[in-house]
């Protein structure tokens, strides 16, 4: 179990004057992890990522990249990092090739391997045809790709991407997600995004940050458990009384949503088949029987907006 | 690593029309001044021929040219240095350098070296202009060398101060305006304080950028003057590193 973490962040704090942007954030990233970092605007996502990449010094806490302390030995630790900030850091007056080879040299890619690294990064990001063009003349989507190419060029152990699919068209988004999954095989990836399906599509771990604190951190399979709520939604033509419904074995509570729709809470194993049998036997006229699943969005909203109970929206969507 | 950053800086300068137009305008002005000085020399030449221990062509043409070049460079330097760091901050490209395995010192030195090489190109053209006189006459090469060294040190000082100003702000224009304030102030700082205590006036005249240049222009190579410029450059480079680092730190 002495598996070495690629990134090990311990109790990170960051203050901007009196405002605390990040409070006591700790997490680890192992090889093969694709960690989705979620949070509303201003929650501290970007600050955390900037701290991980040495762009911001934490007010307190420790960051180790492959066991190397980022604050004590920044130069050694940064060799293992690739970072795409929210706004891709591009020199508009250079061509794509010029820019990427500059990045390669900055990241100490040996001269004899630079050509090869450049070609493979360009190929992976679909930049093959635009190598000679000026970055300033490229579309937003292509600029974003150059930003990603820059982050993976030197084959870093950890790739940190801050909203990588912003400004891309749906096909490009698919390609980039594919690329991220592929990179996830032999790198550790931290990905921040506002697009929740993206997290479910590419990540195997999720963290939600709100007001500077980590409010949720779990693996994707752990998240599945959370998504699974212990509810069934049924729709009946003949409307029985609530009491009749709660008499069904396994069902502990029932509530009427609108005419014909009921929400049944159960405990233990899913009693869907029992519900169906009884509905048929009593001639309720079963029209619909679905397990209610919460979406990541609901979890996100619940965790980030404690004041509002999102119960109503959940029901509305299920109905 | 320093050279990688310097090379990119230089390339970026020459990719912008600003650098080319500055080179062209400065070259034009210097050529005109050169011409005017030669004209003066031609006017006085018959009278000088009759004088004993008369000032030579070096004193009448080259040295005033170098002296005027300093004033022109004072005006031009902030335009070149203004965008060096402020633009990186404004365009958010600084994070590329910050997340690369490069120290703040290397970033600042790389940037500084980049602008310095640009100015050396400018001085090289100026030196060629002066040395073209060798085709028709003799020059006091030692004196010319001392003057050029003085000018190089002076430009090095301008660049370091401009770099620091550029590290303080995101707006290139503000960086330029503050350099325009700082450099002439340091140029004329010895004008005041003459009536005060000897220590104060001594300090002010030591701080003045121009005093040290003037003695080098006279052909007096004094290590105090060279050390003054080196200290000046070092101070502003350290300040720039500090100011860049302060971006990262919580405050």
> Cβ of B102 and A75 within 8 Å?
yes
Other Cβ atoms closer than 10 A to B204: 18
> Cβ of A75 and B94 within 8 Å?
no
Asked if A236 contacts A45 with a C-beta cutoff of 8 angstroms, the reply is no
- The whole-chain average pLDDT of chain A stands at 85
Q: How many whole angstroms from its chain centre is CA B26? A: 13
What pLDDT, in 10s, does the model give residues A227-285? 777 788 888 888 888 888 888 888 888 888 887 888 888 877 778 888 888 888 888 88
**Which tokens belong to A138?**
């490229």
Looking at mean pLDDT, say which of A34-43, A177-186, A197-206, B104-113 comes out highest: B104-113
What pLDDT, in 10s, does the model give residues B99-108? 999 999 999 9
The mean pLDDT of B116-121, rounded to a whole number, is 95
- HEC readout, chain B: CHHHHHHHHHHHHHHCHHHHHHHHHHHHHHHHHHHHHHHHHHHHHHHHHHCCCCCCHHHHHHHHHHHHHHHHHHHHHHHHHCHHHHHHHHCCCHHHHHCCCCCHHHHHHHHHHHHHHHHHHHHHHHHHHHHHHHHCCCCCHHHHHHHHHHHHHHHHHHHHHHHHHHHHCCCHHHHHHHHHHHHHHHHHHHHCCCCCCHHHHHHHHHHCHHHHHHHHHCCCCCHHHHHHHHHHHHHHHHHHHHHHHHCCCCC
B3 touches chain A (CB under 8 A): no
Report H helices in A125-161. Answer: 140-152
A92 touches chain B (CB under 8 A): yes
Q: How many whole angstroms from its chain centre is CA B217? A: 14
Whether the complex's predicted ipTM is more than 0.95 is answered with: no
Q: How far is A69 from chain B (nearest CA, A)?
A: 13
**Statement: residue A217 has pLDDT above 50:** yes
Of B4, B94, B100, the CB nearest to A78: B100
pLDDT of residue A227: 73
pLDDT of residue B194: 66
**Statement: residue A49 has pLDDT above 50:** yes
A137 touches chain B (CB under 8 A): no
Which domains, ranges and CATH numbers included, belong to chain A?
A: 1-80+156-211 (3.40.50.300), 86-155 (no CATH), 225-318 (3.30.70)
**Statement: residue A143 has pLDDT above 80:** yes
> Cβ of B91 and A92 within 8 Å?
yes
A279 sits in which H/E element: helix A272-282
A94 contacts on B by Cβ (under 8 Å) = 11-12, 15
**Statement: residue A189 has pLDDT above 80:** yes
Asked if B219 contacts B147 with a C-beta cutoff of 8 angstroms, the reply is yes
The mean pLDDT of A88-94, rounded to a whole number, is 92
> Cβ of A14 and B250 within 8 Å?
yes
The mean pLDDT of B69-78, rounded to a whole number, is 93
> Cβ of A14 and B5 within 8 Å?
no
Confidence of residue B193 (pLDDT cuts 50, 70, 90): low
**A167 or B69, higher pLDDT:** B69
**Statement: residue A121 has pLDDT above 60:** yes
Q: How far apart are CA A188 and CA A180, in angstroms?
A: 10
Which candidate, A89, A54, A94, places its Cα nearest to that of A74? A54
Confidence of residue A312 (pLDDT cuts 50, 70, 90): very low
Residues 6+ apart with CB under 8 A from A28: A5, A7, A8, A9
What pLDDT, in 10s, does the model give residues B221-244? 888 899 999 999 999 999 999 999
> Residue A15, SS3?
strand
Which candidate, A221, A206, A35, A83, places its Cα nearest to that of B99? A83
b/e per residue, B14-42, with b = 16+ CB within 10 A? ebeeebeebbeebeebbeebbeebeeebe
> Cβ of B99 and A83 within 8 Å?
yes
> Cβ of B15 and A85 within 8 Å?
no
Q: How far is A18 from chain B (nearest CA, A)?
A: 9
B18 touches chain A (CB under 8 A): no
Which residues in chain B (87-106) have CB-CB distances under 8 A to chain A?
A: 91-103
Q: How far is A35 from chain B (nearest CA, A)?
A: 20
> Cβ of A93 and B248 within 8 Å?
no
CA distances for B4 relative to A46, A90, A107, B27, B107, angstroms? 28, 16, 11, 28, 10
A76 touches chain B (CB under 8 A): yes
**Statement: residue B72 has pLDDT above 90:** yes
Asked if A96 contacts A132 with a C-beta cutoff of 8 angstroms, the reply is yes
Asked if A52 contacts A9 with a C-beta cutoff of 8 angstroms, the reply is yes
Which candidate, A33, A65, A67, places its Cα nearest to that of A180? A33
Asked if A176 contacts A127 with a C-beta cutoff of 8 angstroms, the reply is no
**Statement: residue A193 has pLDDT above 50:** yes
> Cβ of A53 and B99 within 8 Å?
yes
């Amino acid at each position: 179990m002495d598996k070495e973490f690629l990134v090990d962040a311990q109790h990170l704090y960051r203050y901007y004057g009196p405002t605390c942007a990040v409070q006591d954030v700790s997490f680890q990233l192992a090889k093969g992890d694709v960690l989705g970092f979620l949070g509303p605007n201003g929650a501290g996502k970007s600050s955390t990522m900037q701290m991980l990449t040495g762009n911001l010094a934490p007010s307190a806490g420790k960051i180790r990249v492959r066991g190397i302390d980022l604050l004590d030995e920044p130069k050694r630790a940064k060799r293992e990092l690739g970072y795409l900030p929210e706004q891709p850091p591009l020199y508009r007056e250079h061509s794509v090739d010029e820019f990427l080879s500059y990045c390669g040299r900055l990241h100490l890619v040996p001269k004899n391997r630079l050509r090869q690294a450049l070609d493979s990064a360009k190929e992976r990001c679909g930049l093959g045809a635009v190598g000679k063009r000026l970055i300033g003349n490229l579309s937003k989507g292509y600029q974003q790709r150059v930003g990603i190419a820059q982050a993976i060029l030197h084959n870093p152990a950890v790739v940190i991407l801050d909203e990588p699919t912003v400004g891309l068209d749906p096909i490009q988004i698919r390609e980039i997600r594919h690329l991220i999954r592929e990179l996830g095989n032999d790198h550790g990836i931290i990905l921040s995004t506002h697009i929740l399906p993206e997290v479910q599509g590419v990540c195997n771990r999720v963290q939600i940050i709100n007001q500077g604190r980590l409010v949720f951190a779990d693996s994707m399979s752990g998240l599945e458990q959370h998504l699974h709520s212990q509810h069934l939604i049924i729709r009946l033509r003949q409307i029985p009384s609530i009491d009749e419904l709660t008499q069904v074995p396994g069902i502990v509570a029932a509530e009427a949503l609108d005419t014909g729709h009921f929400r049944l809470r159960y405990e233990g194993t899913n009693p869907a088949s029992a519900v169906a049998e009884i509905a048929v036997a009593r001639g309720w006229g079963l029209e619909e029987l679905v397990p209610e699943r919460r979406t990541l969005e609901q979890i996100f909203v619940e965790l980030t907006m404690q004041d509002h109970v999102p119960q109503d929206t959940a029901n509305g969507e299920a109905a | 690593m320093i050279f990688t950053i310097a090379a990119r800086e230089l390339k970026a300068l020459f990719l912008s029309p600003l650098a080319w137009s500055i080179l062209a305008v400065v070259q034009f002005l210097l050529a005109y001044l050169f011409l005017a000085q030669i004209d003066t020399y031609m006017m006085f030449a018959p009278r000088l021929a009759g004088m004993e221990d008369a000032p030579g062509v070096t004193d009448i043409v080259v040295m005033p040219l170098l002296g005027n070049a300093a004033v022109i460079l004072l005006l031009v330097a902030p335009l070149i240095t203004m965008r060096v760091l402020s633009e990186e901050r404004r365009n958010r490209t600084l994070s590329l350098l910050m997340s690369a395995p490069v120290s703040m010192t290397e970033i600042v030195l790389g940037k500084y070296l980049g602008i310095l090489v640009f100015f050396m190109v400018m001085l090289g053209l100026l030196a060629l202009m002066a040395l073209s006189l060798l085709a028709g006459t003799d020059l006091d090469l030692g004196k010319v060398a001392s003057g050029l060294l003085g000018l190089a040190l002076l430009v090095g000082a301008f660049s370091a101060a401009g770099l620091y100003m550029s590290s303080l702000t995101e707006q290139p224009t503000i960086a330029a305006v503050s350099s325009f304030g700082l450099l002439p102030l340091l140029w004329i700082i010895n004008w005041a304080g003459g009536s005060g205590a000897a220590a104060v006036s001594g300090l002010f005249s030591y701080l003045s950028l121009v005093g040290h240049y003037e003695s080098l222009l006279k052909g007096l190579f004094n290590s105090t003057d060279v050390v003054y410029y080196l200290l000046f450059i070092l101070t502003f480079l350290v300040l720039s590193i500090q100011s860049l680092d302060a971006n990262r730190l919580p405050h």
